[in-house]
Amino acid sequence: MLVGSVPIGAGAPVAVQSMTTTPTSDPEATLSQIGELAAEGCEIARVAIPDAASLGGFEAICAASPLPIVADVHFDHHLAIEACRRGASALRINPGNIGSWERVDAVIEAAGEAGIPIRIGVNAGSLAKDVEVRADLTHAEKLVESAVSFVRHFAKRDFSDIVVSAKTHSAMETVEVNRLLSKALPEVPLHLGVTEAGDFSQATVKNSVALGILLTEGIGDTVRVSITAPPVDEVRVAWQILAAVGVRRRGPEIVSCPTCARCSIDLMSLEAEVARRVRSVDAPLCVAVMGCEVNGPGEARAADIGIAGGHGHCILFAGGEIIATVAQDEAVDALMGEIAARFGA
């Protein structure tokens, strides 16, 4: 299936998503945020439509966005239908909170006419009504059973252009749910993420654990790392997770030591500066930023290139071999120059 021009499932690369936080009624601000997301490697942007007053802004966003836009709609099926008519590349609805099946069917019909896919979302607040009351099922099983029942209904309506997500704030329950879904719905692409995951630190840990396990097992076709933080942070963390498990790489990986009493430089500031500068580099390099010569070309031998601090100077190394010694205040410029010379980046 395609969300705009981005393929999902069927062996396509795992796609990275995020969601805008600006008012949809302010298309200029929202498009600015989407531009920032695109620059960080986001491939699909989700935009909420909270009310009818947001539809005009949504239409303007779809018309000018560099990324395909998924319309995020809760409760009001009329908003979902209008989103189909105003340029959405996909819909995200939770059938469990849209209301009657007649309303869900109206949305399915509108999406079919527009030729766009639907993400079927399920979470604690949008379980199928007949499943929610069952005492014989665990919460994870209720999420799975709800998702399966919704997919079956869509199939009866001859609509198969779908992605499924079943989200929870628990990392391990997220793993359990998606393992079960991958078996119950092997042909349906899965959207992964830990919902309501918390602040940057907690959300990064939760998503890294859950998505890392699932992606390593070959489960998942697109991801959104939910963080209570600027959306660009979601995209950066998503790419770091994908790279860490060997699924996809975008740009350099930074290798840096935790420092110790041997470190005589401000390594945290140095690492932050290198990380900022290499964001413009497209090559999938491993760049080391080490606190001393002991941990330089030795422990970071596998890095493509790197710098290690000393007393007033830094050594520049590549492939484990020292290639230059430079003044500390010239180290980052020297590193970037060597990256450009060696890798054309």
CATH number of the domain at 144, please.
3.20.20.20
- What is the value of pTM for the model shown? 0.90
Same-domain pairing of 228 and 258? no
Residue linked to tokens 């031998």: 301
For 137-189, what is each residue's pLDDT tens digit?
899 999 999 999 999 999 999 999 999 999 999 999 999 999 999 999 999 99
Would you give the end-to-end CA distance of the chain in angstroms?
33
pLDDT higher than threshold 80 for residue 241: yes
Same-domain pairing of 314 and 223? no
Q: Domain ends where: 244, 268, 298?
A: 244
Same-domain pairing of 234 and 297? no
pLDDT at 113: 97
Q: How many Å apart are CA 7 and CA 146, to the nearest integer?
A: 25
- For residue 309, the domain's CATH number is 3.30.413.10
Q: Count up the domains in the chain and report the number.
A: 2
Same-domain pairing of 119 and 32? yes
Same-domain pairing of 271 and 231? no
Same-domain pairing of 236 and 324? no
Q: Domain ends where: 213, 244, 275?
A: 244
For 90-140, what is each residue's pLDDT tens digit?
999 999 889 899 999 999 999 999 999 999 999 887 888 888 888 898 999
178 class by beta-carbon count within 10 Å (0-12 exposed, 13-18 middle, 19+ buried): buried
Same-domain pairing of 28 and 73? yes
pLDDT higher than threshold 80 for residue 295: no
pLDDT higher than threshold 90 for residue 218: yes
Q: Percent of the chain at pLDDT above 90?
A: 68
Q: Domain ends where: 193, 226, 244?
A: 244
Same-domain pairing of 147 and 260? no
Same-domain pairing of 121 and 239? yes
* pLDDT-wise least confident of 46-50, 297-301, 339-343: 297-301
Mean pLDDT computed over 53-57: 97
The alpha carbon of residue 17 and the mean position of all alpha carbons in its chain are separated, in whole angstroms, by: 4
User: Pick the residue with more confidence: 297 or 316?
Assistant: 316
For 278-292, what is each residue's pLDDT tens digit?
988 888 888 999 887
Same-domain pairing of 210 and 269? no
Range of the domain at 276: 253-343
Same-domain pairing of 194 and 301? no
For 68-96, what is each residue's pLDDT tens digit?
999 999 999 999 999 999 999 999 999 98
Same-domain pairing of 238 and 262? no
Q: Per-residue confidence at 27, pLDDT binned at 50, 70, 90?
A: very high
Q: By C-alpha distance, which of 6, 99, 83 is closest to 45?
A: 6
